[in-house]
Chain A
Amino acid sequence: MGQPLSPSLVRENATRMMTGLPVVIAVAALAAQVYLPLYVRTLGLFDLPLLVVAYLALLGRRPIVGLLIGAAVGLAQDGLTHGPLGVFGMTKTVVGYLAGWASQVIEVGLPGVRGILVAIFFLLHQFLFWTVQTVLLGNELAVDLVLTFGLAAGHAAAALLLYRLFDRWKKTS
C-alpha cells in the first residue's frame, strides 16, 4: 500500500457531501437492499450497503469515521434481518475501517483503484461474514468461490457506476 499520504495532501483532497446526504444515501441503500430483490431477484446478491459504506469511508479519509459508518450501517442492516445484531455490524465495521485507512495511504479518486478496493472489500466482507456465521454462530454456510469472485467483480463494476453518481453530490471542502 506504500506510505500514508501527508496530512496536507489528505486535507487537500478531502471532500464532503451535503449535510445529511450520507444518511439519506445509507437509508436509501438499505431500503433498496430489501425492496429491489422483490422485482429483480439477482439484485439480492449485491450488497448495496457495503458499496455505500465503502464510498462514505473512502470519502471520509479517516479510519474512525469509516468504522463508525460501517458499524452504523451494518447494525441497521442486521436490524432488517431475522438474525442477531452484529454480524453485518462487525464485518462492515472492519470494511469501513480499512476503507478509511486506505483512503489515507492511496489515492482513491481513480475509478480503477476504487473498483479494485471495492472488490477487495467485498471479498473481505464475505470472508468475515462467513467467519462470524460459522465460528461465532455455528451456522453452516456453503461457499461458492466462483460466484463469490464473480460477485466481487460485479460489485466493482456497480461501484464504478454508483460512485460516479455519488461524486456529483459531493463538494470540495
Chain B
Amino acid sequence: MVELFTRYRNTSALLVVLALQLALLAYQVKRGDDARLLHVWTAAAIAPLQKAMSGASHFVASGWNDYVWLVDTRQENRQLRRQLDELKLENQHLQRSMGQFERGQVLQQYQQSVLSQTVISQVIGVGSNPNSKEIFLDLGTDAGVGAGMAVVTPDGIAGKVHAAHGGTSLVLLFNDPEAAVGVLLARSRARGVLKGTGSAFCLIDYVDRDVEVRIGEKVYTSGDDRIYPKGLLVGTVTRLEQASEFQRIYVKPAAPLNRLEEVLVITSGVHQQLPSSSAPQPPGRLLPPPPADFKPSNPVESGLLRNRNGGDAWGSYQTEDSSPDAVPRATDADRLKRRYLRIGQAQGHRFGEGEPGSPAPDFNLQTARLPLLAGDPSTTQAEIGSSAVARRRQAESPTEQAGAETTQAAAPGSATGSGASDESGSEERRDRR
C-alpha cells in the first residue's frame, strides 16, 4: 500500500486532496451550511488588499481627473457658465412672472372688495414730460375707460385718467403739480384739498389751525371732487407746518406712484365709508356683549346683576335675548315710536287721522305715568319692569323721575352693549324741554 502510494505519489496526492475537498463539500451540502470560518478568513485576508486597491485607484483616478485629464475642463466650464447665465435669465423671468401673478391676485382681491366697478389695467409707459407725473395704461375707450375716471391700487389711489384713446389712456398721477384730490382726514375729519407737488410728498393747504392733526394720521378721499369715490386711502400725514391762520399738511402717498405696474380704473364709482379702524374710538375699553345663554351661577352674581332701582337687569337680558317668548330687540327709533304711541293713546289721539290744524298731543307728557301699550309685542319686559319701577319711584320721589326715565331708556341699550343709551336719554331730555 505504501509502495503503491510511493509509486503513484502524485496521483495519490491528487486523489487525497480531491477526496478531502469532496468530503468537505458533501459535509456542507448535508449540513446545509458552509464552513463559515474559511469564508471569514478569506474575506479578512482579502479585505485589506481590496481597501488598498480601492484607495489607490481612487487616489489615482482623482489625481488623474482633477490634475491631469483637464482637456475638456475649459470647454465644460464655458458651457456651464453659459448654462448658468441662461438659468439666471430664466430665474429672473420666473420671478418676474411670479411677482406679476401675485400682484394680479392682490389686485383681483381688492377689485372684489371695493364697491365700485373697476377694470384691471397694466402700466405700459410713463409720460414724456419729465416734470409731470403721468403714466400710460394699456386700456382705453375700447375697454370703457374714459377721461376723468379714478385710477387706484390696493395700496391707495394713484391718479385720474387725463385722456383716453382707443387702446391706451394717459393717467395723471395725483402727485403731479397740476393734480388735486378732495380728502378727508381720518381722525380729525377735517376736509381739504390735497395737491401734488411733483415730489414724493403731497400737500393739504389751507387747513384751519384749530383742527388737531397728528403725524401718522390716515388721509382718505372725501368724494367732494366727484372723481375719486369717498373712502379710498390716499396717504399718511408725515409733516405739519403751522402758518399764521392755516396749517400745511404734508402727506406721503400710500400707493407706490413711481413703480406702478398694475392698477384699477374705476369705471363706475361708489362712495364707501371710511374704514372703521380710523373712526374715533371711545375712551377706555368696552367689554364684548355677554353670551346669549349666560346665566348667573350663584346668588351673589344674581345680586350683582340687580340694578339700583330694584329692577332685575338679568330679567332684561333674559327677556330680550333668550326667553322663549322673546321679541326682537328694539332700536331707539322703535322705543321713541312706542313712546309717542303711548302718549297719543293716553290723550285719545290717533296719529295720521287728525285734520290739518287740529291740536297735536302733548309730547311733554311723562311716559312713566302712562299705561303700557296693550298687545304690543315689541314692548319688552325691560320697559315693563323699568316703567313700573319708574312709576313707583315717581310716587316716592318726583325729583328722581328724570333719572328713572333715563334708566328706562338705558336698560335696553346696555343690554345691547351699544352707546345708544346716551342718545336715547338726551332725546328724552329734549322731549321734556
Contact residues of A with B, CB < 8 Å? 27-28, 30-32, 34-35, 39, 62-64, 67-68, 71, 75-76, 78-80, 83-87, 89-90, 93-94, 97, 100-101, 132, 136-137
Contacts and interface: CB of A to CB of B under 8 A. Distances in A.
A97 B24 contact: no
Contacts, number: 92
Contacts of A63: 10, 13-14
A137 B45 contact: no
A79 B29 contact: no
A83 B50 CA distance: 20
16 contacts: A39-B57, A67-B10, A75-B42, A78-B38, A79-B38, A79-B43, A80-B42, A84-B25, A84-B35, A85-B21, A85-B24, A87-B25, A94-B14, A94-B18, A136-B25, A137-B25
A147 to B, nearest CB: 26
B304 interface: no
B24 A28 contact: no
B117 interface: no
Contact of A89 (B13, B21, B26): B21
Given A27-B46, A75-B42, A83-B34, 8 more contacts: A27-B45, A30-B46, A31-B50, A67-B14, A79-B39, A84-B25, A86-B25, A136-B25
Q: Pick the most buried of B18, B28, B41: most chain A CB atoms within 10 A of its CB.
A: B18
Nearest to A68: B17
B25 A34 contact: no
A100 B26 CA distance: 27
B54 interface: yes
A34 B9 CA distance: 35
Nearest to B26: A136
Nearest to A76: B42
Contacts of A93: 14, 17-18, 21
Given A63-B13, A64-B9, A137-B29, A34 B50 contact: yes
Nearest to A138: B29
Q: Return the 9 tightest CB-CB contacts between A and B, nearest first.
A: A79-B42, A86-B25, A63-B10, A84-B28, A31-B49, A86-B21, A89-B21, A90-B21, A97-B14
A118 to B, nearest CB: 20
B94 interface: no
Interface in B15-63: 17-18, 21-22, 24-26, 28-29, 34-35, 38-39, 41-43, 45-46, 49-50, 53-54, 57
B25 A35 contact: no
Given A71-B21, A76-B42, A93-B18, A84 B10 contact: no
B35 A71 contact: no
Contacts of B49: 27-28, 31
Nearest to B34: A84
Contacts of B38: 75, 78-79, 85
Nearest to A24: B49
Interface of B: 9-10, 13-14, 17-18, 21-22, 24-26, 28-29, 34-35, 38-39, 41-43, 45-46, 49-50, 53-54, 57
B53 A31 contact: yes
A32 B46 CA distance: 10
B28 A85 contact: yes
Contacts of B22: 86, 90, 136
Contacts of B41: 79
A86 B46 contact: no
A35 B50 CA distance: 7
A94 B22 CA distance: 13
A125 B157 CA distance: 93
Nearest to A98: B14
Q: Pick the most buried of A79, A83, A90: most chain B CB atoms within 10 A of its CB.
A: A79
Contact of A31 (B13, B14, B18, B46): B46
B405 to A, nearest CB: 102
Contact of A85 (B14, B17, B35, B43): B35
Given A63-B10, A78-B38, A35 B53 contact: yes
B181 to A, nearest CB: 78
Contacts of A83: 34
Contacts of B17: 67-68, 71, 93
Q: Pick the most buried of A71, A85, A132: most chain B CB atoms within 10 A of its CB.
A: A85
A151 B28 CA distance: 31
A84 B22 CA distance: 11
B284 to A, nearest CB: 82
A87 B25 CA distance: 8
Nearest to B32: A84
A100 B34 CA distance: 30
Contacts of A85: 21, 24-25, 28, 34-35, 38-39
Contact of B25 (A67, A71, A90, A100): A90
Given A71-B21, A85-B25, A93-B17, A80 B46 contact: yes
Contacts of A100: 10
A34 B13 contact: no
A89 B50 CA distance: 22
B44 to A, nearest CB: 10
